[in-house]
Amino acid sequence: MVERPKQNKKIVELASRRSAKSAGAFGASISRADGHGLAANEQVLSLISQILVDESLPFYVAALDGTVIHINDHYSKLDAALVDITLAPGASDTVGQFRVPSLKPVIEDVLATDTTVRAEEIVRINGRDRIFLGRHSPVRDAQKNIIAVAGTYEDVTVQVRGIEEANKTQARFQDFARASSDWFFECDADMRIRTLSERFTAIVGQPASLFLGSKFEQFGRLEENLDGRIDGPRAIRGRKPFREQLFIVSEPSGRDLKFHLSGVPVFDRQTGDFKGYRGVGMDVTTRYVQAQEAAGIRSNLEGLLAELTRKNLALDVASGQATSALRAKNEFLAAMSHELRTPLNAIIGFAEAFEHQTFGALESSYIGYAEDIRKSGQHLLGLINDILDVAVIESGGLTLQVDELDLGGVITKAVHMNAEAARKKGLNIDGLEVQCDIYVKADDRRLTQILVNLLSNAIKFTPEGGAIGLEVQLAKGDSHADITLWDTGIGISDEQLPHMFEKFHQVTEHIYSRAQEGTGLGLHISRELARMMDGDLTVSSKEGEGSRFTVSVPISDGSDSDGSFI
């Protein structure tokens, strides 16, 4: 390797972008030519005047061994401007003295292809890359043999950068278009399709070429979009942009494909003449199917809402009427019950007087009639009392006097009121003897009424020879006492059990129960009274094995010993 003086030293480089047929690495150092054929070089020099070349471009001629034989003034000026960098033929002051290894690949490409080779070379000047296009051509002798290579260089930096920027812009445009649409179209001034992307083929299932030269309305139809707009035709007539124009294409199967068309008008930049439209199409078939389904659901919901509103209004009217009717019924029952009790008490009193022959001796038949009158009057009075209780409870007019009560005393009183009836029926009442020292907070008369009602039912629905009993225990948490009355009677079926506390409900499917009288109000009244005293009434039963009714009442803490009203 020969090192040139420092002030003339240059590095020989070739652009990283070269002809695809080039091989080998460029940028080798300059080496002195040893024993190259001067006669051949002289022959080349004699042909230079015959080489047709653009003299306005930097020009060189090199022997086949890589020695530069000739350069023109433009090459010398370019080489001087490059300072410490040079193109492949090397520095201008090496002409005729050194072989330039960087030229070897170019020469080999020219010899291999037997034609001109184009290659770009990039040199960095003042921190910026400059691109030179080299055209390297074979030089032939009279026998058409290649004896040298001649080349020119042209600065194509601006052109290449312009092409690169155009490619980047086109790539960005393609990316935006792919992200925002499904297919592209271009129409002429008569709105006939000139360009249609292949993506349209994939969606429609027919070659896009079939639609070239056609207008959109020839293979589809324009209709209102979801917003009720059909702006496309009006915009086209006015040469204005349009968006989301619904375009429907029917498949051979009959299925409609829906697209949103968006387009912009195109005008000649020089004359301003209208040239047509460019635009995109978006497949919105699924969106319209979903919108149709949503519209159907919305319509159904609106219909249901209207029907529900109508029914609510009717229910409000009916509820108001029912409330008025219930109030009127309760007022009527309360008034009638009060009015009926007075004559009934008189009838019962006179019947008892006849039974006891208070006004003188009577025949036995009359005494029997008096007994029937008394019993019927007492039964009717019981029914009236029950109806009156229900009316008062439902109207919210019932007042309770809550006291601290000895539960054992209340139970004993209720048992004594029913024990004789149980003995007459032949029932075992040993289970009614209960000892308890619990004090509860309750209304004495109403708690007694509940227990008497439950004992009466137990006696009524327990066949002769059965048994009834009573149990008392503290409930969980020791806040309430549970009084359970049990019997071995007919029991209650699973179907009847949930309805036991409803008004006017009676167990009627059992042959034994049909003989029992009652209104079906006793249990309903008892549970309402228990709940008004902060307690409850529950039942458990098994058909044919008896029932267990449990009254829960709060235990007294000694704070209401003087009584209170609720």
430 shares a domain with 348? no
Q: What is the pLDDT of residue 245?
A: 93
- Please report whether residue 169 resides in a domain: no
54 shares a domain with 31? yes
Contact of 442 with 451, CB cutoff 8 Å: no
**143 CB-contact burial (10 Å; exposed 0-12 / middle 13-18 / buried 19+):** exposed
Q: What is the pLDDT of residue 264?
A: 94
- Please report whether residue 172 resides in a domain: no
278 shares a domain with 297? no
The CATH number covering residue 45 comes to 3.30.450.20
Q: What is the pLDDT of residue 177?
A: 62
Backbone angles phi, psi at 550, to 5 degrees: -120, 120
- Please report whether residue 275 resides in a domain: yes
552 shares a domain with 453? yes
- Domain hosting residue 276, numbered range: 181-283
342 shares a domain with 380? yes
Contact of 285 with 258, CB cutoff 8 Å: yes
Q: What is the pLDDT of residue 557?
A: 75
375 shares a domain with 359? yes
- Please report whether residue 162 resides in a domain: no
What span, in angstroms and rounded, lies between the C-alpha atoms of 260 and 281? 6
User: Domain boundary at 258, 283, 308, which?
Assistant: 283
pLDDT in tens, 523-562: 888 898 999 999 999 999 998 889 999 999 999 876 655 5
> Would you state the structure tokens that stand for residue 139, as one six-digit string?
């030089």
Residues of the chain with pLDDT under 70: 1-53, 173-181, 330, 333-334, 336-338, 379, 395, 397, 476, 504-519, 558-566
Calculate the dihedral angle through the C-alpha atoms of 92, 93, 94, 96, rounding to the nearest 10 degrees: 90
User: Domain boundary at 393, 411, 430, which?
Assistant: 393
What span, in angstroms and rounded, lies between the C-alpha atoms of 300 and 294? 10
- As for how many domains the chain has, the answer is 4
User: Domain boundary at 393, 426, 444, which?
Assistant: 393
194 shares a domain with 75? no
What span, in angstroms and rounded, lies between the C-alpha atoms of 425 and 459? 8
The reported pTM is 0.41
The CATH number covering residue 535 comes to 3.30.565.10
